Structure 1
Amino acid sequence: MTIAFVCIASVAIGQQTPAPAQTEVYTIIGATAHIGNGTVIDNAILIIEDGKISVCADATTTKIAQRGKIINAEGKHIYPGLIATNTTLGLVEVGQVRQTNDDDEIGDMIPHVRSIIAYNAESKVVESMRPNGVLMAQIRPLGGRISGTSSVVQLDAWNWEDAAVKADNGVYANWPLSMTRGRWWLGEDPGSKPNKNYPKDIDELRTFMNNAKAYSKGNSDVNLPFAAMKGVFDGSQRLFISANDERQIRDVIAFKNEMNIPHVVLVGGYQAYKVAAELKANNIPVILQRVQDLPAMDDHDYDLPYKLPKLLTDAGVLVALGYDGEYWQVRNLPFYAGQVTQFGMSDADALKLITENPAKILGLDASAGTLEVGKDATLFISEGNALDMRGNQLTRAFIQGRDISLETHQTKLWKRYAEKVEIKK
């Protein structure tokens, strides 16, 4: 009796069963296809086979035979799966319950710590992303000066091995703060003041990087932190550096050149607009923090967070919308892109911020980010404009051609209580 009860309970609280591998061809017809690179096809035909997009064309001008299972999406919209960056999705379940937090390891210079092995594919937070079209995410560790490696996952998997799309694609680092605030609890002035240890903190990072660079050229002794940095120097991994104020960002640019690091990505970049030309010249893309935020300083424009993506895009900087190491807020990603459309950016360009651009920044653009032939069939069908809460109503979603479930614990509760409460007009 007890054994049976335990088995039933485990099924009841488990994850949504991941969809099986694609076995039949799907043909989607009649929808408006938002390719993700700025192109929009009003009457598209899209064919999915073997987990890939084999056809994506204008049905008005191109005659293509329909095959397999036909999905009539007339009046609806097709989008590439949205890609979230700079998140702790799957590493944290309940923020206030320490036992469910696995996003921060002990140590200061720990690039060998792998966030992917802590990823919880059965997280209820992860499954709540899919109904809004967020189908892929970059997960990262927090803490320390060098936090560890980030990985890219797809959000319908049994375990972290199945979820991994690109494991250990980058190393995350936190640039030293150029300004600090006083410790009010010790009676200090709580206002901002220059960090007197700023040069020393940079020197410590420089020393570690120089040692790691020397180690990467050949060493018989095993040093895990130094060994984990090899990909940063040979270009096989990105170095994601969190920095926000102008001085920090200028120093990051100088550090990239000093260390001869091929791929540096600026994360945060609140004052990146002040050095946009330098970022472009040094080929440094930017992953911004969430745009639905308040200005950091009293004298900043009230709408600076909203218009920052356009300021950088207009300057030629490759930009993606991200977070600040957050997790459950990630489901709002399409609406962050919708927010910037009210501050000068077109819908097509705003969509790039959460599809094509992050794919390029993460090194996934050969297989993800746009609805193009040969790429993974990771996409969704929406009733309306996916960047608008009123239109973001998904009817189908596919990850690598697999027809995934859009049910979550939230949708189950909604249906349960919708039946319980009779709404009287």
Structure 2
Amino acid sequence: MKKHIYIYTLCLTVLFSGLSFAQQTPAPKQSQAISIVGATAHIGNGQVIENATVVFENGKIVRVGASATTQTSGTVIDAKGKHVYPGFIAPNSTLGLVEVDAVRATRDQSETGSFNPHIRSLIAYNTESKVVESCRPNGILTAQITPRGGRVSGTSSIVQLDAWNWEDAAVKVDDGIHMNWPNNFSRGRWWLGEPRGLTPNKNYAKQVQTIKDGFNEVLSYLKGSKSPKHLPFEAMESLMNGSQTLFVHVNTEKGILDAIDFAKQNKLKLVIVGGYHAHKVATTLSQNNIPVLLHRTHSVPNMDDEDYDLSYKKAKILTDAGVLVGLENSGQMERMNTRNLPFLAGTVAAHGMDKEKALQLITSNTAKILGVDDRLGTLEAGKDATLFISEGDALDMRGNILTHAFIQGRTLSLETHQTRLWKRYMDKYDGK
């Protein structure tokens, strides 16, 4: 009996000690107006206001303008010499869907099967994630939570990164369905005796035809009696009527062109995700008003004959061609690397793009692509007060030092597991 009591006590101790490291309590609702005075305001649409005043109350921005002509209200924050930005938006992210890659029980970013339009990433989103918490001190305050795997992965949603649960987190529910387009090249599987390197995918045409046949089945079902009930087909209805977006994850030139033709034939609202070779078809993308969520800027070229800095300047090439571009950070260790999103934009700015245009790649452009530009992406009256104050240039890791951050007007804590460890060990060394 004593042994059982000891084990029970030990389990409770471990449980509550673990809870002590959970994400901090979400901030309470904004109770009074707040005015940020004296900062350089980066509006997010290319405009900059020196010595600006930003006023927000009840979770919404009410006034933005020069301090000399803009009336303050409520609590005044003196931000002279600092910078204020709209909160950064991380699209195509698996934040909150995986906590520890090596622990299977914490991985919930994909489902079995290849056709899962009815799978909703939102209900798997973990608001207690320490990885999510670590993004806020760099200004990432909103994310598109996106499923992975299969041909049709499922449905994404837009969330804010300070919430009790997924219901509280939701900004836009089920914004789009994600599809992984077939690759027209395949990499040889040496362990099966196949040639090394890239070779044409002999099954490409068949795989594309399978997609087309599947969508024709969906259309027939939706136009018919809908009996017997088919949940994956039911989940496609909003996509087919234009109220949802089809996010096609594709990188090759031919794949992008084929995806465009497919979307046009089915009258679908299309966004290209990844788009490694999007710059080669920039004119076609521009002519068809198709946005691109561009692959990770901090990556090396895939081909030997490509410029070493191609990834750095690709966003400018597309933007100059008239394509609406946002930056996404999928790839190796993508959740932990989400905190580097502002520096992806900073690298683009360092390679030819105007800095305020580079800022748009992670604010207003992304908000437009995700369909939340009525609420997020710029510092404008009527939009959510989701913004932050930085000591310096937020696109530069040397200046990205946040002093305040707000989501829907709520004052956030910028403490994380990492900052607590930093302070703990700084105390140790300072004490020597």
* TM-score normalised to structure 2 length: 0.95
Structure 1 CA distance for aligned equivalents of residues 277 and 293 of structure 2? 12
Paired letter, 1:110: N
User: What fraction of aligned residue pairs are identical, expressed as a percent?
Assistant: 58
What is the match of residue 416 of structure 1?
Answer: 424
In the TM superposition, residue 14 of structure 1 has moved relative to its aligned partner by 1.8
In the TM superposition, residue 9 of structure 1 has moved relative to its aligned partner by 2.2
Larger deviation, residues 247-256 vs 122-131: 247-256
Structure 2 CA distance for aligned equivalents of residues 323 and 206 of structure 1? 29
Structure 2 CA distance for aligned equivalents of residues 136 and 362 of structure 1? 11
* TM-score normalised to structure 1 length: 0.97
Structure 2 CA distance for aligned equivalents of residues 278 and 399 of structure 1? 37
What is the match of residue 250 of structure 1?
Answer: 257
CA-to-aligned-CA distance 1:332-376 (integer Å, 9 cap, x gap): 000000001111101100000000001000000001000000000
Aligned partner (choices 113, 117, 134) of residue 111 of structure 1 = 117
Q: How does 1:134-145 map to 2 (within 5 A)?
A: 134-145=140-151
Larger deviation, residues 206-215 vs 111-120: 206-215
Secondary structure of the equivalent of 2:53? strand
Task: Note if 1:124 corresponds to 2:130.
Answer: yes
Secondary structure of the equivalent of 2:328? strand
Task: Note if 1:65 corresponds to 2:71.
Answer: yes
CA-to-aligned-CA distance 1:226-261 (integer Å, 9 cap, x gap): 111111111111000011111101101111111121
Determine if contact 2:90/2:328 at 8 Å carries over to the other structure: yes
Aligned partner (choices 9, 13, 22) of residue 17 of structure 2 = 9
Aligned partner (choices 95, 104, 107) of residue 89 of structure 1 = 95
In the TM superposition, residue 423 of structure 1 has moved relative to its aligned partner by 8.6
Secondary structure of the equivalent of 2:84? strand
What is the match of residue 212 of structure 1?
Answer: 218
Aligned partner (choices 213, 231, 234) of residue 241 of structure 2 = 234
CA-to-aligned-CA distance 1:304-348 (integer Å, 9 cap, x gap): 110000000000000000022621110000000000111110110
Structure 1 CA distance for aligned equivalents of residues 16 and 271 of structure 2? 47
What is the match of residue 35 of structure 2?
Answer: 27
Task: Note if 1:279 corresponds to 2:298.
Answer: no
In the TM superposition, residue 13 of structure 1 has moved relative to its aligned partner by 2.2
Structure 1 CA distance for aligned equivalents of residues 383 and 225 of structure 2? 40
Q: How does 1:21-420 map to 2 (within 5 A)?
A: 21-60=29-68, 62=69, 64-221=70-227, 222-261=229-268, 263-324=269-330, 326-420=334-428
Structure 1 CA distance for aligned equivalents of residues 258 and 110 of structure 2? 26
Secondary structure of the equivalent of 1:258? helix
RMSD: 1.4
In the TM superposition, residue 220 of structure 1 has moved relative to its aligned partner by 3.2
Structure 1 CA distance for aligned equivalents of residues 357 and 180 of structure 2? 29
Paired letter, 1:241: V
Determine if contact 2:21/2:417 at 8 Å carries over to the other structure: no
CA-to-aligned-CA distance 1:145-201 (integer Å, 9 cap, x gap): 000001111000011111111111000000011000111112221111110100110
Task: Note if 1:18 corresponds to 2:54.
Answer: no
What is the match of residue 3 of structure 2?
Answer: none
Structure 1 CA distance for aligned equivalents of residues 28 and 394 of structure 2? 26
Structure 1 CA distance for aligned equivalents of residues 200 and 153 of structure 2? 24
Where does structure 2 lack aligned partners over 5 or more consecutive residues?
Answer: 1-5
Secondary structure of the equivalent of 1:129? helix
Paired letter, 2:252: D
Secondary structure of the equivalent of 1:199? helix
CA-to-aligned-CA distance 1:46-91 (integer Å, 9 cap, x gap): 111010000001123x2x3322111000000000000001111100
Secondary structure of the equivalent of 2:330? strand
Secondary structure of the equivalent of 1:53? strand
CA, structure 1 residues 67+266, in 2 after alignment: closer, same or farther (shift >3 Å)?
Answer: same
Structure 1 CA distance for aligned equivalents of residues 124 and 28 of structure 2? 24
CA, structure 1 residues 423+290, in 2 after alignment: closer, same or farther (shift >3 Å)?
Answer: farther
CA-to-aligned-CA distance 1:113-142 (integer Å, 9 cap, x gap): 011111000000000000000000001111
Structure 1 CA distance for aligned equivalents of residues 16 and 206 of structure 2? 58
CA-to-aligned-CA distance 1:85-110 (integer Å, 9 cap, x gap): 11111001111221111001001011
Structure 2 CA distance for aligned equivalents of residues 218 and 358 of structure 1? 37
In the TM superposition, residue 293 of structure 1 has moved relative to its aligned partner by 0.2
